[in-house]
Amino acid sequence: MAPVAPARHPVLDFAPLALVFGFLFAVSFLPPDTSKSEVDRFSRISVCMPSLYPPLVTAESATPGFDVDLVHAIAERNGWRVNVVSNSAMGRDFNPRHWRITRAQCQMLAGGIANTQTTSSFLDLTAPYLMTGWAFVGASGETLDTVRGPVGFHSGMTGLDRIGLGQYLRQKRLEVAVTEDAKALRAGLEGNVYSGAVTEALSARQVFADSAYETALLGTPLQSFGLGIGFWKGDLTLKQAVEETLLDMWRDGTVATIAARYDIDADLLCNPSEPECATGAERPPETE
């Protein structure tokens, strides 16, 4: 009679499988690219930013802008020096194709990179840390529904949907006067030429920061965008390093401190660890 092999312990059946899974899990920690090691090697990171885009990028040396401070803080924590590459085309719209920038110029992009489908077709983005969209500025308690008289308008960022806003304001039967710049908008509001003002949320917060006027994001049915930091597609290691640093900065309150310097209210900040912000992208307008 042939000897019967002793029965194998059921756990042993799964040992090779566990080994394979363990090996593949270890492989998943391999760096998929050299983007971070390149930055580490020279201890320097080039960041493409718009020349002027208040409050994200300003012309003041003491307060250079929210995104400038944020990028410097991220770089400092990683032991990098920052080389800011100014690009005047960047602030004009949200489409990176128009900015004429290449990987040779910068490894990172900041200063109002909107997390939209268009942008994500060209760039990889971090989860948004700021939200923006059209905002209404008016006296305390005033809204677009209660306002009487003309409303001043300044477009600010050109990437926001002006057609959608136009339709929305027409629906509310409001008389709208377009102003040349944010200062003219404020002067018009203060001089009672306008009963209220509509402009991009971040610039509204900055322009009207020291006034008694209140600013409110218009939200749905209008679009709102998350702003994040952009990377060239495939630069995963660099993106992961920046995302981890950003999360640390949220946890220890650094982001909130920088935001306070630029009068950016907490309701416009977007903590990337919150699912709503982590999923990121643009919030499309709701159809009514």
Partner 1 sequence: MTLVMEQAKTPGRATRLYRQARGVYAIWLREVKRSLRDKGQLIGGASRPLLWILILGIGLNPYFRGEVYGEVKFVVPYTYLQFIFPAVIVLNILYTSIQSAVSLIWDREFGFLREVLVSPMSRNTILLGKVLGGATTAVIHGCMVLVVARFVGINLTSGMLVSALVLMFVLAVGLTAFGIVIANYVRGFEGFGVFSNAVILPLYFTASSAFPLDPALTRAQTLVIYPEWLVFLVEHNPLTYAIDAMRGILINFNQFDPTLSYQVIGALVVGLYLLAIWEFRKA
Q: Which positions touch partner 1 (CB under 8 A)?
A: 13-14, 16-17, 20-21, 23-25, 27-30, 32-33, 96-97, 100, 102-104, 117, 120-124, 232-234, 236, 239-240
Whole-Å CA distances, 191 to 137, 211, 213, 271: 14, 13, 13, 37
Measured CA to CA, the distance from residue 113 to residue 49 in angstroms comes to 9
Q: Which is nearer to partner 1, 25 or 173 (CB)?
A: 25
Kindly give, in sequence order, each residue whose CB lies less than 8 Å from that of residue 105, ignoring residues fewer than 6 positions away: 46, 48, 85
Q: Which is nearer to partner 1, 153 or 232 (CB)?
A: 232
The least CB distance from residue 55 to partner 1, in Å, is 28
Measured CA to CA, the distance from residue 262 to residue 141 in angstroms comes to 24
Q: Which is nearer to partner 1, 32 or 149 (CB)?
A: 32
Closest CA to 84 of 117, 110, 61, 59: 110
What's 44's DSSP letter? E
The least CB distance from residue 84 to partner 1, in Å, is 20
The least CB distance from residue 239 to partner 1, in Å, is 7
Measured CA to CA, the distance from residue 47 to residue 254 in angstroms comes to 20
Q: Are 196 and 159 in contact (CB under 8 A)?
A: no
The least CB distance from residue 18 to partner 1, in Å, is 10
The least CB distance from residue 204 to partner 1, in Å, is 30
Q: Which is nearer to partner 1, 196 or 272 (CB)?
A: 272
Q: Which is nearer to partner 1, 102 or 140 (CB)?
A: 102
Q: Which is nearer to partner 1, 4 or 30 (CB)?
A: 30
Q: Are 215 and 208 in contact (CB under 8 A)?
A: yes
The least CB distance from residue 228 to partner 1, in Å, is 14
The CB density around residue 107, as the number of other CB atoms within 10 Å, is 22
